[in-house]
Amino acid sequence: MNKFMAFWRSSVGKKIIMGVSGLFLCTFLAVHCGINLLLFKSDGGQLYNEASEFMSSNIVIRTVEVVLFVGIVAHLFSGVVVWIKNWMSRPVRYSVYRLKDNAPLSSRRPMLTASASLVGFFLVIHLQTFWIPNRFWAEPPESNYDLVAAAFSDPVYGIFYIVALLFLAFHLKHGFQSGFQTLGVSTSKYKWLVDAVAVIFWLVIPLAFAAMPAYFLWFKS
């Protein structure tokens, strides 16, 4: 326990926890996206409902949910602590922040913080819309497909969802690379591989998620 606390108190320890938890959340994001792609199957939502029922009743998946929640808390908490420490260590607080195209990752932290804040707000709304009804309502929705379709057919929620994904894409683009950099993997030897995998997470997956509300807003309404 003493070793862990010493590790946590160190700046490197917090960054490693933030990086590892972030990469774990990226893995979940890919799985979540794969399941949600079942929304596009023309079967009235049958396969999606079956997958949702399996995810909500399987003991292994429910256990992973707990691990996922711990990962989210660890990522958010370590991120906030690192941000506060970096902010307090700056000798000068700039009232105007300008980001250059070739700025190093460390100087992009204000934008990463802004994107993380909006993504965190989006996560709360997302859980309230989909997860809480299935876990805590006395009578859960009979059809998760209908629940998703109703939410994504709402222009306000649908557009908010798409805008939030733009911020998520930015956060993933720089956070993914930062995570590997913290773990010492993003070297010249592996940089090409990290960059290639990063494209899947910050471009392909957000586009797939954004296609879902677009599908219900403009093609299913």
Q: CATH number for the domain including 136?
A: 1.20.1300.10
pLDDT at 135: 83
pLDDT at 105: 47
Whether 176 is covered by a domain: the verdict is: yes
pLDDT at 106: 42
Whether 99 is covered by a domain: the verdict is: no
Phi, psi dihedral angles at 125 (to 5 degrees): -65, -40
On the 0-12 / 13-18 / 19+ scale of CB atoms within 10 A, 99 is exposed
Tally of domains in the chain: 1
Query: What stretch of H or E contains 88?
Result: helix 59-89
Whether 74 is covered by a domain: the verdict is: yes
Q: Which two tokens stand for residue 118?
A: 């909006």
Q: Are the C-beta atoms of 172 and 201 separated by less than 8 Å?
A: yes
Q: Using CA atoms, how far apart are residues 193 and 121, in angstroms rounded to an integer?
A: 31
Give me the residue label for tokens 């460390």. 106
Q: Using CA atoms, how far apart are residues 46 and 70, in angstroms rounded to an integer?
A: 31
pLDDT at 77: 82
Whether 27 is covered by a domain: the verdict is: yes
| CA angle (27, 29, 34) in 5-degree steps | 100
The per-residue DSSP string of 173-215 comes to HHHHHHHHHHTT--STTTHHHHHHHHHIIIIIHHHHHHHHHHH
Tell me the whole-structure pTM to 2 decimals.
Answer: 0.81
Range of the domain at 206: 2-88+104-218
Q: Using CA atoms, how far apart are residues 34 and 12, in angstroms rounded to an integer?
A: 33
Whether 66 is covered by a domain: the verdict is: yes
Whether 93 is covered by a domain: the verdict is: no
DSSP code at position 137: -
On the 0-12 / 13-18 / 19+ scale of CB atoms within 10 A, 176 is buried
pLDDT at 82: 75
| CA angle (19, 174, 111) in 5-degree steps | 110
Whether 96 is covered by a domain: the verdict is: no
One digit per residue, the tens of pLDDT, for the chain of length 221 reads 677 777 767 777 877 888 888 888 888 999 999 999 999 999 999 999 999 999 888 898 888 888 888 888 888 887 777 777 777 776 555 444 444 544 544 445 667 677 888 888 999 999 999 989 888 887 888 899 999 999 999 999 999 999 999 999 988 887 777 777 777 776 667 788 888 888 999 999 999 999 999 999 998 76
Q: Are the C-beta atoms of 4 and 180 separated by less than 8 Å?
A: no
Q: Using CA atoms, how far apart are residues 37 and 9, in angstroms rounded to an integer?
A: 41
Q: Using CA atoms, how far apart are residues 80 and 57, in angstroms rounded to an integer?
A: 33
Q: Are the C-beta atoms of 112 and 83 separated by less than 8 Å?
A: no
pLDDT at 188: 66
pLDDT at 186: 62
Whether 63 is covered by a domain: the verdict is: yes
